[in-house]
Amino acid sequence: MKSKLPNLPTSIFAVMSKMAADHKALNLSQGFPNFKSDPLLIELVNQAMKDGYNQYAPMPGDIGLREAISQKTTSLHHKTYRPDTEITVTAGATQAIFTIIAAIINKGDEVIIFTPAYDCYDPAIKLFGGKIIPVQLRAPNYKVDWNDVEAKITPKTKLIIINTPHNPSGVIFSEEDMLQLQSIAEKHNLLVLSDEVYEHIIFDGNTHFSAARFPALVSRCFITASFGKTFHNTGWKMGYCLAPEYLMKEFKKVHQFNVFSVNSPMQRALGDYLATPDHYLGLSAFYQQKRDLFIHLIKDSKFKIIPSKGTYFQMLDFSEISQESDITFTERLTKEQKIATIPTSVFNANNEDFKQIRVCFAKTEETLVSAANILNAI
């Protein structure tokens, strides 16, 4: 059989987590917390199961959860998405992103992505015959040059995918970035996918400028979100998508046949839990404390550090330590030093290597101290 994706490697997250397990290394590679989700949320899931919420949820999602998502978006961004027509609950952001791309990308459509880019965009675009047009962002500030973006737009450009706060770099889009995006999308009649899975993890008093805040963007934009990131349960694979009705209609045409609906008791529980804003409003402070502790612990190491502005990832530049490729370097670190991290060239256009590795600091203080001891000795 001829492969549809002949050159696609296994996801770096699967590769590095397996390598960490095989070599009994501290796993700071794949992004997941190593501490527990709130017992109250777990109790709510148990209760929903006991209360009989064990059959299919409605196709777009539990109505209580969709209402809670709508209220959260209104209170944070002053834009109300209608629970009945503009919100769908998904199996994590990954399924939402795949579904969006499946619903709108036709053969030959061009899609602009900002590299380093999260790894699920590229294969989904290719599967549906789309062409990736990368815009490379560069350390230290990974700033977007919007003239460069506009220069890459052709009559075939259909979609721009953004991700703020950005994985892996930890940078965030400013209000000015979002206004530039809005004006370009309007001028060239483009659709936008705004991947906002780290919406509640943003540091130093900065604001998350969701696409939901910009009316001319809202009218052409899908927004994706992940409860796994917000509530410390990445393994539950729960998330959602927001979009205006005409786009959500197309989204649901795919959603109903690739998953139909997602985990019912968890939706019940998340609906109740989300109704209390304190359950997500404290997240930035929680992770900022971890970022600051981690940076403090490794301040005398040979790694160059530019503090992350959002997400739970920190980029470390190792150019003063080694001239190896980031892939060789992270492999060696895992096997010899017993610490697993992510090589970031795999997220770049043409795998361009910048001697940067990504570390996940969503870890207990004890794990961060152990990680720092290893990194300081390198």
Report 108-137 residues binding ligand PMP (CB under 6 A).
118
**By the rule CB under 6 A, 228 interacts with ligand PMP:** yes
| Residues 6 or more apart whose Cβ sits within 8 Å of residue 204 | 288, 309
**By the rule CB under 6 A, 19 interacts with ligand GLN:** no
* Least Cβ distance, residue 67 to ligand GLN (angstroms): 27
Closer to ligand PMP by Cβ: residue 100 or 191:
100
Report 23-42 residues binding ligand PMP (CB under 6 A).
31
Single out the residue of 87, 93, 333, 359 in contact with ligand PMP (rule: CB under 6 A): 93
Angle, vertex CA 208, rays to CA 205 and CA 210, nearest 5: 165
Phi and psi at residue 48, in whole multiples of 5°?
-60, -40
* Least Cβ distance, residue 187 to ligand PMP (angstroms): 26
Single out the residue of 15, 20, 25, 30 in contact with ligand GLN (rule: CB under 6 A): 30
Report 143-182 residues binding ligand GLN (CB under 6 A).
167
Closer to ligand GLN by Cβ: residue 31 or 83:
31
When CB distances to ligand GLN are compared, the closest residue is 31
* Least Cβ distance, residue 35 to ligand PMP (angstroms): 17
Residues near ligand PMP (CB under 6 A), total:
15
**By the rule CB under 6 A, 239 interacts with ligand PMP:** yes
Between helix 39-50 and helix 264-274 the angle, nearest 10°, is 130
Closer to ligand GLN by Cβ: residue 167 or 267:
167
Q: State the binding partner of 66 from ligand PMP, ligand GLN, none, CB within 5 to 8 A by kind.
A: none
**By the rule CB under 6 A, 163 interacts with ligand PMP:** yes
- Can you say how many angstroms the Cα of residue 33 is from the centroid of all Cα atoms in its chain? 14
* Least Cβ distance, residue 369 to ligand PMP (angstroms): 25
**By the rule CB under 6 A, 31 interacts with ligand GLN:** yes
Among the listed residues 331, 287, 333, 295, the one whose alpha carbon sits nearest the alpha carbon of residue 315: 295
Q: State the binding partner of 30 from ligand PMP, ligand GLN, none, CB within 5 to 8 A by kind.
A: ligand GLN
Single out the residue of 88, 167, 169, 314 in contact with ligand PMP (rule: CB under 6 A): 167
What is the rounded distance in angstroms from the CA atom of residue 326 to the CA atom of residue 377? Answer: 18
Closer to ligand PMP by Cβ: residue 162 or 297:
162
Tokens of 184: 């370009």
**By the rule CB under 6 A, 197 interacts with ligand PMP:** yes
Residues present in the chain in total:
378
Dihedral sign, Cα of residue 160, residue 166, residue 168, residue 170: positive
Q: State the binding partner of 291 from ligand PMP, ligand GLN, none, CB within 5 to 8 A by kind.
A: none
Name the residues that contact ligand PMP, by CB under 6 A.
Answer: 31, 92-94, 118, 163, 167, 195, 197, 226, 228-229, 234, 237, 239
Name the residues that contact ligand GLN, by CB under 6 A.
Answer: 11, 13, 30-31, 167
